[in-house]
Amino acid sequence: MSADSETPASRVPDTPSAFEQYRIPLGLVVLVLFLRPVVSSDLLLGFEAIANRMLIIMLFVAAFNLLFGFTGLLSFGHAMFFGFGVYVPAIVVLNGLGGLAPGGSVTFFAGVALALLSVGVFSYLLALLIVGKGEIYFALLTLAVSQAIYFIALRDPWGLTGGSNGLTRGTLPEFVEQTRGQITIQAFGASVDWYWVVAVVFLLAMSGLWQVVRSPFGRTLIAIRDNEQLARAMGIDTTRYKVWSLTFSGLLSAMAGVLLEINNSGAAIENLGVLTSGDTVLMAVLGGINYFFGPITGAFTWLFVEDFLTDFEVWHIPTTELAIVSVDLGPALQFWQFFLGALFVVVVLTSPEEGIWGYVRTLGAGVKRRLEER
């Protein structure tokens, strides 16, 4: 630090204003407040439960993107971490744990703790083995490991996972109440709408993720993504950073899985499947992997389109006599994945890091410039 004593006359760029610095958490709060009213309006999807699922998947895809978008490691098997979060609490609630009775609230939280602990240890050890193997091998190895886990779960070892049927009965703790598809949480004599519980967990986990990304640790991850060779030459232990990035990503994915366990009242084998992993990649890239709000945008678009277009014909059946077009359109739009797949290919071939959110930002910047010119 010989030069530290020199005169600090040099200009240091201004730090952004508090509003600039905290606009991401603010944006998250706005998202949580408006998501449900907006998607459940009759003009759009018209039902509320989809909002719960959206928040959960957004968290999962954002966790995935910590690894892909912010560290440069493409995992093609992220469903395994997610699935851990779904299965472990479900198994524990169903069977009890040690002296804890099946179905108990304490049992559930013990299950959650066990899920996070096991995912933490598992993803850390897995990362130690595979982060040094090169990008493509990393993708293929995560795919292979998650397939191996999928087939193990499918075999229903010791009758724990329920094989291809998954776990559907007796997997909810007693504080969860379900009436006509609506979930409420009974705690301390009060009854809370499930959406707000999801929202709070979502906000906490996403704020944690945001803090990781903006911390010196997170900036180092971005540097590794941008130029790993340079990062190493500048004294960064890239392997250890990658290992912890995968571990954090695994933990947050498992958090999302825990929420889905309650939301879907149980575990399904598809939660561990290759399609779940693949959809995660698609959503992140569609949304824009370079941005914090990219995965959120991607997950929203994906789930919105899925529901909007799959329900299209159902929605139109009463009006078929009037609107003949919808009859022709319905069956084709059922295959919405074809069109999103095409959009995805275009995004990858043109601007793989920007996605929809990058496009929105560019548009926004353009509009802002126009307004300032006036």
List the interface residues with another protein, window 91-150 (CB under 8 A). 129-130, 133-137, 139-141, 143-145, 147-148
Distance of closest approach, residue 10 Cβ to another protein, in angstroms: 4
Nearest to 74 by CA among 19, 134, 27: 134
Distance of closest approach, residue 256 Cβ to another protein, in angstroms: 20
Residue 335 engages another protein in binding (rule: CB under 8 A): yes
Residues 6+ positions from 234 with CB-CB distance below 8 Å? 223
- Indicate which single residue of 15, 314, 322, 374 sits in contact with another protein (rule: CB under 8 A): 15
Instruction: Give the whole-angstrom CA distance, residue 225 versus residue 20.
Output: 24
285-314 exposure pattern, b = at least 16 Cβ within 10 A, e = fewer: bbbbbbbbbbbbbbbbbbbebebbbbbbbe
What are the angstrom distances between the C-alpha of 159 and each of 8, 91, 95, 153, 265? Answer: 68, 10, 10, 10, 19
Subset of 182-211 contacting another protein (CB under 8 A): 211
Binding track, positions 30-69, relative to another protein; x by CB under 8 A: ----------------------------------------
Residues 6+ positions from 228 with CB-CB distance below 8 Å? 72, 238
Write out the DSSP string of 330-348: HHHHTTHHHHHHHHHHHHH
Residue 71 engages another protein in binding (rule: CB under 8 A): no
Distance of closest approach, residue 97 Cβ to another protein, in angstroms: 24
For residue 365, the Cα-to-chain-centroid distance in whole angstroms is: 27
- Interacting span for another protein (CB under 8 A) from 83-91, 252-260, 344-352, 359-367: 344-352
Residue 344 engages another protein in binding (rule: CB under 8 A): yes
- Indicate which single residue of 44, 178, 200, 237 sits in contact with another protein (rule: CB under 8 A): 237
- Interacting span for another protein (CB under 8 A) from 47-55, 89-97, 174-182, 231-239: 231-239
Distance of closest approach, residue 79 Cβ to another protein, in angstroms: 13
The two tokens of residue 285 are 């890239």
Subset of 268-327 contacting another protein (CB under 8 A): 274-275, 278, 281-282, 285
Nearer to another protein, 93 or 213 (CB): 213
What are the angstrom distances between the C-alpha of 217 and each of 212, 229, 242? Answer: 7, 18, 11
